[in-house]
Amino acid sequence: MTTVESQLRTVEHADRGPLSRDEMAQAIARDIEPGSYVNLGIGQPTLVADHLDGDSGIVLHTENGMLGMGPVARGDAIDPDLVNAGKAPVTELPGSSYFHHADSFAMMRGGHLDVCVLGAFQVSQRGDLANWHTGAPDAIPAVGGAMDLAVGAKRVFVMMTLFAKDGSSKLVESLTYPVTGLACVSRVYTEHAVFDVGADGVVVRETHGTTVDALRERLPVQVRRLED
């Protein structure tokens, strides 16, 4: 299988529709190196676990103090003392370990996690992330581990829809939502395209159900092709 890492040219899949959530999760799973330590954020990113190859040696970290997290627990396997970051009951895999919160976040902050996958309200062209607070005056602020994950993992992947419900792009020139972390996101997976973001701006790696030229019409940021 060709990994996206070795890709030299932008691939446009204009002949089929946008990616489903599961296909987005599959695309992310494909880009995670075997043997990686990975944290999957609450919500959509948890779908990535369903697409990881059991033989890949990828180890899942959960912020509440576990490496080697297994699938969601069902029936008799449910233990209220064994939960994931979303407080859902999970299972342990052979080789798993438990540790306290300061160690768990040292794994993030200390750069020991290879990849984390997070949802987002907005990502800026330089990789700034907004995913913790809408900024609405009546919202109760709650940050959890979002800011720690954003600055901690070696690579931060975002999984999100490209456009908000009002049609506006969630890939933006600069954030209008409250910041979670600055210049921390390296790649953004959406149903329409996969982007690299960072100091060099936005590069389109692949499109789904659209073309780079069509995206340029709808996005408020300048985008390049890999070969540009």
Which are the catalytic amino acids? 63
Smallest gap from Cβ 152 to other proteins, in A, equals: 8
Regarding 72 and contact with other proteins (CB under 8 A), the answer is: no
| Binding status of residue 41 toward other proteins by CB under 8 A | no
As to burial, measured by CB atoms within 10 angstroms (0-12 exposed, 13-18 middle, 19+ buried), residue 133 is middle
3-state secondary structure (DSSP) of residue 151: helix
> Least distance from C-beta 22 to other proteins, angstroms?
24
Among 1, 136, 140, 199, binds other proteins (CB under 8 A): 140
Q: Within 10 Å of residue 33's Cβ, how many Cβ atoms?
A: 14
Q: Could you say which residues in the range 178-197 bind other proteins, by CB under 8 A?
A: 178-182
Site stretch for other proteins (CB under 8 A), options 31-39, 114-122, 155-163, 174-182 = 174-182
Structure tokens at 118: 């997070």
Three-state DSSP class for 113?
Answer: coil
Q: How far is CA 187 from the centre of its chain?
A: 8
CA distance 90 to 160: 24
Site string for other proteins, 80-119 (x = CB under 8 A): xxxx---x----x-----xxxxx-xxx-xx----------
Number of residues that bind other proteins (CB under 8 A): 40
The pair of structure tokens assigned to 197 is 């973001």
What is the Cα 226 distance to its own chain's centre? 21
Binding site for other proteins (CB under 8 A): 62-66, 79-83, 87, 92, 98-102, 104-106, 108-109, 138-148, 151-152, 178-182
